[in-house]
Chains A and B, each alone.
Chain A
């Protein structure tokens, strides 16, 4: 019954590459590789209205004060600072001062590698700077008129100083420390060893309320 000379039932696939190319170019153009990176922060909890604001009990020498005004000028430890990029070194030497360490401070000091100990004996031990990394706090207060760009730069510098300290403690650079993957148990152990005893104490002061 079958007829002879049936036309071939093949779909021509010579132009398949062209169609695929077209689709490829469409996705190439529309694709935006998502960059979800940034400076992570944890905001303080909501203040309890029934409780008076807590008194600052820390010694002034344990607080590294950074102020930024509406003209984007910085006041660091009561002295004007022109170059924001100097903050990294200043904060680092503030954290690693060990002016008069307590028991925990001594314990932290003993875990540090030799390179950091020599850094401390060279730059640290000043009586007017922090007692030990455990109690050191970096306080940053920005005005409502401060530009966001400067705010991020300052935060970045302070974070860089902390990452320098953490990284150096386990023999890594700041960037290598940031790339530690906490899902991997070996790297998580390193991360915890680096963080142990040195809290990333960055305090963002509440800005002044608007005066009506």
Chain B
């Protein structure tokens, strides 16, 4: 039984001196990748699923329009509403919003503005096509139906 009785002299401590460095590395990763939400979304947002998605290339050219049933339906009713920035707008105010967003961009890039439509699945096409007509009038023709990647079989 001498084999088991042997005591080794190596220390059994795991060196923890590098632990803060590892944690800091993780911390920096998450700090860099994190995007803090700028707007409070006031409408329900369950995005549709689709398989053939394309990525947005330049984030600075993108503006968002949210459409869906208000979360506080006791205050705003159950009908789908349009939200831009932090407020609800009517359909005819969208041109104004697009022009505001275009003013933020360089003159050369104004035509490339992309509107990302974040529309709840419960909405009907009526309100979406109204928005699209306004976007055509505002000459912001590049749009993106924001959706979630579904698993393609």
Contacts and interface: CB of A to CB of B under 8 A. Distances in A.
B30 interface: yes
B80 to A, nearest CB: 9
A146 B124 contact: yes
B143 interface: yes
Contacts of A174: 52, 152
B50 A144 contact: no
B27 A24 contact: yes
B23 A20 contact: yes
A20 B146 CA distance: 35
Interface in A171-212: 174-175, 178, 206-207, 210
A159 B20 contact: no
Nearest to B114: A40
Interface in B79-121: 116-117, 119-121
A28 B48 contact: no
A143 B144 contact: no
Interface residues on B, range: 35 or more
A17 B23 contact: yes
Contacts of B50: 38-39, 152-153, 155-156
A82 to B, nearest CB: 18
Contact of B146 (A27, A33, A36, A151): A36
A152 B20 contact: no
Given A159-B52, A175-B152, A151 B144 contact: no
Interface in A135-155: 142-149, 151-153, 155
A16 B124 CA distance: 53
Interface in A4-34: 13, 16-17, 20-21, 23-24, 27-28, 30-34
A53 interface: no
Determine chain B's interface SS by DSSP, over half rule.
Answer: mixed
A140 B35 CA distance: 36
Contact of A41 (B37, B133, B143): B143
A212 B120 CA distance: 27
Contacts, number: 152
Interface stretch (A43-51, A55-63, A100-108): A43-51
B73 interface: no
Interface residues of A, number: 48
Interface of B: 16, 19-20, 23-24, 26-27, 30-31, 33-37, 48-56, 59, 62, 116-117, 119-126, 128-129, 132-133, 135-137, 139, 141-149, 152
30 contacts: A21-B23, A24-B23, A24-B30, A30-B34, A32-B34, A32-B35, A36-B116, A37-B55, A38-B53, A38-B144, A40-B143, A41-B144, A42-B141, A43-B135, A43-B141, A46-B139, A142-B125, A143-B125, A148-B48, A148-B120, A148-B125, A148-B128, A152-B48, A152-B49, A153-B50, A163-B52, A178-B53, A178-B54, A206-B133, A207-B125
